[in-house]
Amino acid sequence: MQLKYRADVDGLRAVAVLAVIFFHADVKGFSGGFVGVDIFFVISGFLITSIILTEIKNGHFSVARFYERRIRRIFPPLFSVIIFVLIIGTIILDPLSFKDLGNTLTATSLFVSNILFWRRAGYFDLGLMERPLLHTWSLAVEEQFYIIFPLLLVAISRFLNKKYLSFLFGICIVSFLASIYGVYNYPVATFYLMPTRAWELLFGSVLALDETPQLKSNTNRNIGSIIGISLIVYSIIRYSPLTLFPGPNALLPVLGACLIIYSGGGGKEVIVNKFLSLKPIVYIGLISYSLYLWHWPLIVIAKYLILRELTGIEIILIIAVTFIISAISLKYIEYPFRKKHPVIPERKKLFVLSGIITLILVTIGVTIHTKKGFPDRSPSWNGIITNAATDPLWKNFEKNEKNLDELPKGNGPDLIGPTSGKLKFALWGDSHAGNLVDCISDLATKYNISGFNIAHGHAVLPLLGINVVDRDYVFNEADYNKSVIEFIKIHPEIETIIIAGFWSAETKMVDVNSEYSGNQPQHVLLEAGLRRSVNALLKMGKKVILVSDVPTLKAKPNSILFIANMLNKAPNFEKISPTIEEYNIKNKDIQLIFDKISANSNVTIIHPESKLFDKKGRAIVMIMNKMLYIDNCGHLTSIGSKYISTSFDDLFKKMIK
């Protein structure tokens, strides 16, 4: 079990990191480049298991030495990136984003950012892809794994008769089965959490046991490595963010990485491994850790400042800068801590210093959060910046959402309008239906009628028989929507149902009614679910109002406000405002569906989006120094909701006749 340097493994690291970088940079052909992380997990499991078992066999394994190596390898480059992001964030991030960075900074420093991102994958939270430290979730998974793993190997060696294969393979299978179950039931948790990712590291660990017979024939080695690289390339090209992952789909890149490592272990004439051993590719592998750490913050910061997608030239420049910084990091940050006579050679001092720096970063992160992102950095815009926690439209949204979760048990939703008003309507949909609450409430009060607020968040579209399978939920959407229909049935006084939603949101849907099987296009399942909902309501004699969605901004309006203030300029919202043409393209499928369904005389379409475009055909973001949006996910402020109220005036006039 002698550990030898494998240049091809460093080359495989290069493949992994380039796949991730090109995926994050939106380079065509790399829609599944996120599988590079899975390749890293396999490599990490293979190398670290090899090192630990070699030391156990030679009788000089030390847990303290193991963690010292991890600190020397992980901490210096990571701390450098964290400090860079903190400095830049202090300068350019609006208070809400900076407050969120405080949370992320704390979690990253404690290697629990994967848990934070899992818990924060909610509908109203800051977009995950806008977090400059999002990619540190994979480091958290590894470090959590390595808190337990060395102790497990020592225990197997001392107390379990060195039956490494039996125990590691058994744990691997349990983790893999949990990943399969979780990806269909709790996909976000399964993506981020260590127990459902451990099997990927353990595949590499089992490979490191060297208990599989070596391939003696170069032909077999070449076949194995070619199959391995083919599996990886297929995953990179064919997968996309809508692919259910990890689970069984992660097997392809994991097995691909294993086959390449396995096939290159005993021969010098393996074509794929020879290619991976070329010096330029190996060098990319050597700087892969810094490449991984630096590329994502640079991309996020560039997009934050430019307020649009990056052009090809800009992507090339950012990647070039990432390579330069990573080369400098390898020479002046990584190597000095890992060479034979390292910086801070004493283990105790290294541990103490690492602890102190971690404590400082955690303290800074907690302070940023508790001080709400230091809004005084931008005093002149402080009163305009909006968020869901303080806006009147949204601060009680979660309370009603909890009532809706209990709808099958008899709990009732909140009322819209005066409590003394006659029940006439219900508002059904997701948080984009929630956009309409203040608007409808004003009209309901004006005409002295009321209705039920059945607007639920978390992308629960009003689609019968349809489940969304790329998010974590505490309940079944199809069952919930069925309970909405049952609730409406027992309230015959409700005459009109207003249906609204984030129709253009990209989600992975399945038909639980089995009318549509396989991977159907989203618009097919959306039409099927919406048609079922409308038909169920029409059979009850209800009038149905379909509400088209409002425009969705291209970036956070708060960012524009903050940066404009820093530059002492008026905010230019044109950069983030979609045109009518862009809106129509994005909502083309849903408009066709609406047109088909509204052929029934008891179905009407309302277009509130028409109120949110100016004379030039640009979406309106601010009126009279008041924000109409709280974010770039299509959520309106209370002011924005009231601004579109005239779209519903005719509807309410008809309801009182």
Rounded to 5 degrees, φ, ψ at 387 are: -155, 165
- Least confident piece of the model among 13-17, 49-53, 180-184: 180-184
Cα–Cα distance for residue pair 630/638, rounded to 1 Å: 9
What's residue 121's pLDDT? Answer: 66
Cα–Cα distance for residue pair 297/61, rounded to 1 Å: 37
Residue with tokens 């630990």: 52
Q: What is the pLDDT of residues 549-576, one digit of tens each?
A: 999 998 888 888 888 887 788 888 888 9
Rg of the chain, C-alpha, whole Å: 28
Cα–Cα distance for residue pair 9/15, rounded to 1 Å: 10
Residue 1: pLDDT band by 50, 70, 90 thresholds? very low
pLDDT at 123 over 50: no
pLDDT at 470 over 70: no
Pairwise pLDDT comparison (337 vs 474), residue with the higher score: 337
pLDDT at 510 over 90: no
Q: What is the pLDDT of residues 63-77, one digit of tens each?
A: 999 999 999 999 999
Q: Tell how strand 422-429 and strand 496-500 pair up.
A: parallel
Contact yes or no for 529/550 (Cβ under 8 A): no
Cα–Cα distance for residue pair 627/635, rounded to 1 Å: 11
Q: What is the pLDDT of residues 354-411, one digit of tens each?
A: 999 999 999 999 999 999 898 887 666 556 767 777 888 888 787 888 788 777 777 7
Cα–Cα distance for residue pair 235/252, rounded to 1 Å: 7
Cα–Cα distance for residue pair 197/41, rounded to 1 Å: 9
Q: What is the pLDDT of residues 335-353, one digit of tens each?
A: 999 988 999 999 999 999 9
- Name which of 48, 64, 61, 68 is nearest 344 in CA terms: 68
- Least confident piece of the model among 241-250, 314-323, 327-336, 581-590: 241-250
What's residue 342's pLDDT? Answer: 93
Which pTM does this prediction carry? Answer: 0.84
Contact yes or no for 464/481 (Cβ under 8 A): yes
What's residue 475's pLDDT? Answer: 53
Q: Which domains does the chain have, with CATH numbers?
A: 7-375 (no CATH), 397-655 (3.40.50.1110)
What's the per-residue H, E or C state across 443-482? HHHHHCEEEEEEECCCCCCCCCCEEECCCCCCCCHHHHHH
Q: Tell how strand 603-606 and strand 543-547 pair up.
A: parallel
What's residue 253's pLDDT? Answer: 98
Name beta bridge partners: 450. Answer: 423
- Name which of 545, 517, 519 is nearest 530 in CA terms: 545
Q: What is the pLDDT of residues 139-195, one digit of tens each?
A: 999 999 999 999 999 999 999 999 999 999 999 999 999 999 998 888 889 999 999
Burial 434-449 (b: 16+ CB within 10 A, else e): bbbbbbbbbbbeebeb
> Which residue type sits at 348?
K
Pairwise pLDDT comparison (106 vs 386), residue with the higher score: 106
- Least confident piece of the model among 251-255, 278-282, 331-335, 599-603: 599-603
Q: Which two three-digit tokens encode residue 20?
A: 């991730």
What's residue 392's pLDDT? Answer: 85
Q: How far is CA 382 from CA 375, 387, 626, in A?
A: 6, 12, 12
Q: Which of 314-328, 514-528, 545-559 has the highest mean pLDDT?
A: 314-328
